[in-house]
Amino acid sequence: MTEQPLYIRVHPKDNVAIVVNGAGLPAGTVFPDGLTLREFVPQGHKVNLADLEEGAPILRYGQVIGTAVRAVPRGSWIEESLVRMPAAPSLEHLPLATEVPPKLPPLEGYTFDGYRNADGTAGTRNLLGISTSVQCVAGVVEFAVKRIREELLPRFPNVDDVVPLTHTYGCGVAITAPGAAVPIRTVRNIARNPNFGGEPMVVGLGCEKMIPEWLLSEDRPAPAAGNTDSIVRLQDEGQQGFGEIIASILEMAEKRLVELNRRTRTECPASDLVVGLQCGGSDAFSGVTANPAVGYAADLLVRAGATVMFSEVTEVRDAIHLLTPRAANEDVARALIREMAWYDEYLQEGASDRSANTTPGNKRGGLANIVEKALGSVVKSGSSAISGVLAPGERVDRKGLIFAATPASDFICGTLQLASGMTVEVFTTGRGTPYGLAAVPVIKMATRKALSARWHDLIDIDAGRIATGEATIEQVGWELFQLILDVASGRKQTWADHWGLHNALTLFNPGPVT
- Positions that interact with Ca ion (CB under 5 A): 280, 408, 410
Paired strand residues for 446: 429, 462
Question: Smallest distance from the beta carbon of 433 to Ca ion, in angstroms?
Answer: 9
CA atoms of 272 and 262, how far apart (whole Å):
20
Phi, psi of 114 (to 5 degrees): -125, -175
Question: Smallest distance from the beta carbon of 514 to Ca ion, in angstroms?
Answer: 29
Nearest partner of 31 among 47, 50, 7, judged by Cα: 7
Residue 222 CB coordination number (10 Å): 6
Residue 231 CB coordination number (10 Å): 23
Phi, psi of 300 (to 5 degrees): -60, -45
Polymer length in residues for the chain: 514
Paired strand residues for 30: 36
In the bound state with Ca ion, the residue whose beta carbon lies nearer, of 318 and 410, is 410
Please return the burial class of 316, using the count of CB atoms within 10 Å of its CB with bins 0-12, 13-18 and 19+: buried
In the bound state with Ca ion, the residue whose beta carbon lies nearer, of 17 and 496, is 496
DSSP-H helix ranges across 355-435: 360-364, 370-377, 410-420
DSSP state of 212: G
In the bound state with Ca ion, the residue whose beta carbon lies nearer, of 213 and 410, is 410
Question: Smallest distance from the beta carbon of 96 to Ca ion, in angstroms?
Answer: 27
Question: Smallest distance from the beta carbon of 392 to Ca ion, in angstroms?
Answer: 14
Question: Smallest distance from the beta carbon of 257 to Ca ion, in angstroms?
Answer: 34
In the bound state with Ca ion, the residue whose beta carbon lies nearer, of 197 and 414, is 414
Phi, psi of 252 (to 5 degrees): -65, -40
Question: Smallest distance from the beta carbon of 408 to Ca ion, in angstroms?
Answer: 4
Nearest partner of 443 among 277, 268, 291, judged by Cα: 277
> Which residue type does 155 have?
R
Nearest partner of 254 among 142, 159, 354, judged by Cα: 159
In the bound state with Ca ion, the residue whose beta carbon lies nearer, of 48 and 428, is 428
In the bound state with Ca ion, the residue whose beta carbon lies nearer, of 200 and 407, is 407
Question: Smallest distance from the beta carbon of 276 to Ca ion, in angstroms?
Answer: 11
In the bound state with Ca ion, the residue whose beta carbon lies nearer, of 208 and 410, is 410
In the bound state with Ca ion, the residue whose beta carbon lies nearer, of 252 and 440, is 440
Question: Smallest distance from the beta carbon of 413 to Ca ion, in angstroms?
Answer: 5
